[in-house]
Chains A and B, each alone.
Chain A
Amino acid sequence: MAGVHGKLDGLGRFADPWLLILTSLADGPKHGYAIMTDVAAFSGVRMEPGTLYGALSRLERRGWVRPLATAERRKPYELTAAGQEVLAEQVKTMQQIVQIARLRTATAWGA
């Protein structure tokens, strides 16, 4: 957990969008607008363009995503190996949190 949190330092207000973007790119490359619609579809979060490209520029600088070469105006992005590793770590952490939360709520609330 500490490793992931350390890696998140400096993401500022994009600490939530980065997870949504990496998750969106987990099943394959997507361009900007496709990421926005995908995120809205699987999370219900309406990501605005400023937030998207602010987060993409930071993720790209960290080497977690990279643009694919294309002649078109729109550029698809894909996860890098480092991005996959960070996402996997975060998912693992979230799974631990969910597991502990389920156990504790079951004990406390009888759920």
Chain B
Amino acid sequence: MRPGLAARLSRVLAGCHPRRWRERYGEELLDVLDQHQASARTVLNLAASAVSTHLDPAYRMEGFSMTRLRRAALISAALAAPLVLFAAFFLYGMWQEGHWQPTTDDALAAVAFSPHRAILVTAFGESGDGVDVLWDATDLSRPQRLSQFEGGEPTALSPDGRTVATIAFNGRPALWNVANPRRPVKIATLPCCDGNLLWGQAFSPDGQILAAAYYDQIYLWDVADPARPRLLRTLDAAVTSPPQAVVGNSLAVPFSPQDIAFSPGGGILASATGTDQVTLWNVTDPAHAYRIAAIGGAGDFIQAFTFSPRGNLIAAVPYHGTVLVYSLADPARPARIATVRGLLTRAVFPSGLPRPSETPLCATCDGLGNYAVAFTPDGHTLTVVVDREEMSANSGRDTIFDWPVNSAGTLGAVTAAARDVADFQPVIAPGDRTVLGSPPGSHAWHAWPLP
């Protein structure tokens, strides 16, 4: 800085001190400046001195000018306060819209397992949004929370446990890399289907294909490189969610864990389509997948279905509590080989408690049952869990039915057990005799061992 400029700035800064200070020391300071060779250091020093003196309590309260300044600041603050409040509410509203907030009615929206990795994903909320939580599922009785992310629902976990498929907040399916389950990273948003409601997703057993079931179409994606998904085929099929159930005074849609699923060999894709059917697709060549058959057709929504471990059977449970078992020896002509009716009645009125003949079934309960169905890993037992919520009694009851499965696929004599637990929508962990459930409005889930 040139000495002349520094000298001028120094004089200006001398005048920036409080008035009373200037009256006392101003002339002396100017006298010193007349003799002192000013530099940039002098300028900075005087600026700091001016600020410091203004903050000095001995000079802070002086004069009318400061009072007027304070008054102006007070008036400005009073005028600005409503604007600041409005802006705060506005920004909070935007934040609320952009972030999922659980409500007391939100139940467990989705659960996804990985067959080869001891982690699972849970999500609470309604269709189209939700916070996903990753858990260490080494011991389901003591799950360890690993991380969470705003991924949405429903969730599907790739067989290697490295990729989670969700429907993101903006309505699009998204893929998340959870190779490090403590740091999930969004790696892709699938570019399709805005406004078309997504019901479910499933990875093929080799993890190469992701099937996304929308309201009226199924999209098959090549996800060999999950960061660059490639659309292979769209299948025209209305994929439906089960009908609404009454929960308390409101309607809720219990998620169906088996809207869409690949057979264990990966050659068949099954989707709960239409009102009462499960459609089977040949996806041996996903780019040329085609419809091969449909099962069901009993006039009742199919809420849950599952393939047997060898893929030779498929078991389905319609909404009013019938078990249907089909042989897939010839997938183009599924043959029904077992039909068991009356699960719901047996769940509500177990042995020793006769059903009043004059009372219609739904008059005695708050809603129909929710089901989970699974074969044991050896394929020798078929298990159906029926969950019944008794809202009036603020309790729930699960009834567990087990049938031995003979070599022909027919079912032997049933055994039943019951457990007083509110699961809302039970899920049977694959390969494990464990049921996951979540009481409505609890925002928590629990696991209990099957008998």
Chain A interface (Cβ < 8 Å from any Cβ of B): 12-13, 31-33, 36, 48-54, 56-57, 61, 73-75
Contacts and interface: CB of A to CB of B under 8 A. Distances in A.
Given A33-B36, A36-B36, A49 B29 contact: yes
Given A49-B10, A57-B21, A32 B52 contact: no
Contacts of B405: none
Nearest to B50: A50
Contacts of B32: 32-33, 36, 49, 52-53, 74
Given A57-B24, A61-B58, A13 B46 contact: no
A108 B408 CA distance: 96
A32 B41 contact: no
Main secondary structure of the interface of B (DSSP, over half): helix
Contacts of A48: 41-42, 45-46
Nearest to B53: A54
Given A48-B45, A50-B50, 18 more contacts: A12-B52, A13-B52, A31-B28, A36-B36, A48-B42, A48-B46, A49-B33, A49-B42, A50-B13, A50-B47, A51-B45, A54-B52, A56-B25, A57-B24, A57-B25, A73-B28, A74-B32, A75-B28
Interface string B10-51: 100100000001001101111111011000011001111110
A13 B56 CA distance: 12
B53 A32 contact: no
A50 B48 contact: yes
Interface residues of B, number: 25
B393 to A, nearest CB: 71
A49 B45 contact: yes
Contacts of A57: 21, 24-25, 53
Given A49-B33, A50-B46, A51-B49, A32 B28 contact: yes
Interface in B157-171: none
A53 B48 CA distance: 12
Nearest to A55: B49
A61 B30 CA distance: 21
B320 to A, nearest CB: 83
Nearest to A61: B58
Nearest to A48: B45
Interface of B: 10, 13, 21, 24-25, 27-33, 35-36, 41-42, 45-50, 52-53, 58
A66 B103 CA distance: 72
Contacts of A49: 10, 29, 32-33, 36, 42, 45-46
A53 B29 contact: yes
Nearest to B35: A33
Contacts, number: 59
B247 to A, nearest CB: 67
Nearest to B21: A57
Contacts of A53: 25, 28-29, 32, 49
Nearest to A74: B31
A73 B27 contact: yes
A53 B53 CA distance: 10
A80 B413 CA distance: 110
B83 to A, nearest CB: 38
A56 B26 CA distance: 13
A66 B417 CA distance: 99
Contacts of B24: 57
A83 B300 CA distance: 101
A83 B130 CA distance: 72
Contacts of A74: 28, 31-32
Select the residue from B42, B46, B49 with max chain A CB neighbours within 10 A. Answer: B49
27 contacts: A13-B52, A32-B29, A32-B31, A36-B32, A36-B36, A48-B42, A48-B46, A49-B32, A49-B36, A49-B45, A50-B13, A50-B42, A50-B46, A50-B49, A51-B45, A51-B49, A53-B28, A53-B29, A53-B32, A56-B25, A57-B21, A57-B24, A61-B58, A73-B27, A73-B28, A73-B31, A74-B32
Given A36-B32, A73-B27, A50 B21 contact: no
A75 B13 CA distance: 21
Given A13-B52, A36-B36, A50 B45 contact: yes
Select the residue from A32, A36, A49 with max chain B CB neighbours within 10 A. Answer: A49
B309 to A, nearest CB: 79
Contacts of A32: 28-29, 31-32
A20 to B, nearest CB: 15
Contacts of A52: 32
A40 to B, nearest CB: 11
Contacts of A73: 27-28, 30-31
A75 B25 CA distance: 9
A36 B25 CA distance: 16
Contacts of A13: 52
B57 to A, nearest CB: 9
Select the residue from B27, B30, B32, B53 with max chain A CB neighbours within 10 A. Answer: B32
Contacts of B46: 48-50
Contact of B31 (A12, A33, A50, A61): A33
Contacts of B30: 73
Contacts of B58: 61
Contacts of A50: 13, 42, 45-50
